[in-house]
Chain A
Amino acid sequence: MIDRQTTAAVSSEFPSLAWSEFRGQSRAVVPRDELLRVLKFLRDSRGFDLLVDITCVDYLNYRGAQDRFALVYLLSGTRTNERITLRVFVNEPEASVPSAVPLWEGANWMEREVWDMFGIRFEGHPDLRRILLPEEFTAHPLRKDYPLQGRGERHNFPVLRRAEG
């Protein structure tokens, strides 16, 4: 749940946020250029001190979707017990957002995972490498246009025979 005062304070500071509510959970669509300022405001002024997760949704072929990707930021205030969901829409080819690592150190691996699986760049990330897949992997497999069975990566190994072993 989130306090009415919190949403009022955030929307008076950032009038461009589009708010919606679902089963008592408040969520806001944030313009890409305002993301870092909104995160900083929520952390410093409204007590959202915990970055729960950063994840991503691919809206390719989704009914009614205008944008390709939505980055989802889940924040929580450990003292106020409030939760808030922020969404940022990004599109190809410059699918990138500013990194949240300067605000939360814990964003480091979450952003690496989103980069690994969706191929969204985080500008200013100190170490944007793949985290789950092998380094020589070339695709971003959680994109909807990546085939479920892959492009043959799982077959790309040397075959050990008895004589060699």
Chain B
Amino acid sequence: MAIEVPENVVVSRLDALASWCRKNSLWPMPFATACCGIELMATGASRHDLARFGAEVLRFSPRQCDLMIVAGRVVMKMLPVLQRIWQQMHEPKWCISMGACASTGGVFDTYSVVQGIDRFLPVDMYTPGCPPRPEQLIQSIIDLQELIQREGTISGREFAARSRQQPKRALVELSVVTLPRGVSRLPQRVRVE
């Protein structure tokens, strides 16, 4: 039995409607600490024009944002700040880890640089590159929009499902107190079970 609806009425699932609204109005929180931040600025500027994807409103207050873009390496002194900003953002919220340093620590395999923010924060999308071109970041945002449309629910059930995933296990280095005289080899990294 067909139900008569007027021409200007569209029938949809509520989840799909909410996800459609959310994905097309992402408000990024730029957490730019290094050269990736320059590409992030270029992405928001007129040439690449992030406004075409509804994400041009880069706000510097975490209360107004729902997409954190971590652009650049994060050192151990900065990570508590990053976590605090992440906790200040309202649900639903997403996180893009932009570039090699934010995702893995990059070439900075030193005592002070966090080896990938995904060890301490939930990350939804990784952007490869050093630094990524604005096109790559835009591709990440497009992919994130698809993810939101595919999995998004109005009550945020998909986040609860993702919270049960185990975080990446951290590599623990051997602590070598003193190298003997004449030995300059670095200690081997071991994976701790």
Residue of A nearest to B114 (CB): A154
Q: Which of B23-31, B116-124, B143-151 interfaces with chain A?
A: B116-124
A15 within 8 A of B: no
Of A20-28, A38-46, A51-59, A157-165, which stretch is located at the interface? Answer: A157-165
Task: Choose among B115, B162, B173, B179 the residue with the greatest number of A CB atoms under 10 Å from its CB.
Answer: B173
B83: A residues at CB distance < 8 A? 157-158, 160
Q: Which of A117-165 contact B (CB under 8 A)?
A: 133-134, 141, 144-165
Whether A61 sits at the interface, judged by CB under 8 Å, is yes
* Contact yes or no, B111 A155, CB < 8 A: no
CB distance from B168 to the nearest CB of A (A): 9
Q: Give the interface size class of chain B.
A: 35 or more
Number of interface residues of A (CB under 8 A): 26
- Determine whether B175 belongs to the interface, using a CB cutoff of 8 Å to chain A: yes
The proximity string for A residues 50-77 relative to B, scoring 1 for CB distances below 8 Å and 0 otherwise, is: 0000000000010000000000000000
A155 to B168, CA, bound (A): 12
Is A157 within 8 A of B79, CB to CB? yes
- A157→B163 CA distance, assembly (Å): 18
| Residue B12 CB within 8 A of the other chain | no
Closest chain A CB from B65 CB (angstroms): 13
Name the residue of chain A whose CB is nearest to the CB of B182.
Answer: A61
- How far, in angstroms, from A159 to B179 measured CA to CA in the complex? 32
**Is chain A's binding surface mostly helix, strand, loop or mixed?**
loop
A149, B109: Cβ atoms closer than 8 Å: yes
Please measure, in the bound complex, the distance between the C-alpha atom of A155 and the C-alpha atom of B114, giving whole angstroms: 7
Give the complex CA separation of A161 and B164 in angstroms: 8
- Write out the residue numbers on chain B whose beta carbons fall within 8 Å of the beta carbon of A133: 77, 112
CB of B82 to closest CB in A, whole Å: 10
Chain B nearest CB, measured from A135 CB (Å) = 10
List B residues 114-168 near A (Cβ within 8 Å): 114-115, 119-122, 159-160, 162-163, 167
Say whether A61 contacts B112, CB under 8 Å. no
A155 touches B172 (CB 8 A): yes
Which A residues lie within 8 Å of B173 (CB)?
A: 147, 149-152
Other-chain residue from B109, B112, B122, B170 in contact with A162 (beta carbon distance below 8 A): B122
Q: Cα distance A118–B98 when bound, in Å?
A: 34
Residues of A within 8 Å of B120, CB to CB, are 157-160
A157-B79, A160-B121, A165-B87 are contacts. A149–B93 as well, Cβ < 8 Å?
Answer: no
Q: Assuming A134-B77, A145-B179, is B115 touching A163 (CB within 8 A)?
A: no
* A153-B112, A165-B91 given; 5 more Cβ-contact pairs under 8 Å: A61-B179, A148-B109, A153-B76, A157-B79, A158-B83
22 A-B residue pairs with Cβ-Cβ distance under 8 Å, sorted by A, are A61-B182, A133-B112, A141-B112, A145-B177, A147-B175, A147-B176, A147-B187, A148-B111, A149-B173, A150-B173, A154-B114, A155-B119, A155-B170, A157-B79, A159-B167, A160-B87, A160-B121, A160-B122, A162-B159, A163-B163, A164-B87, A165-B86
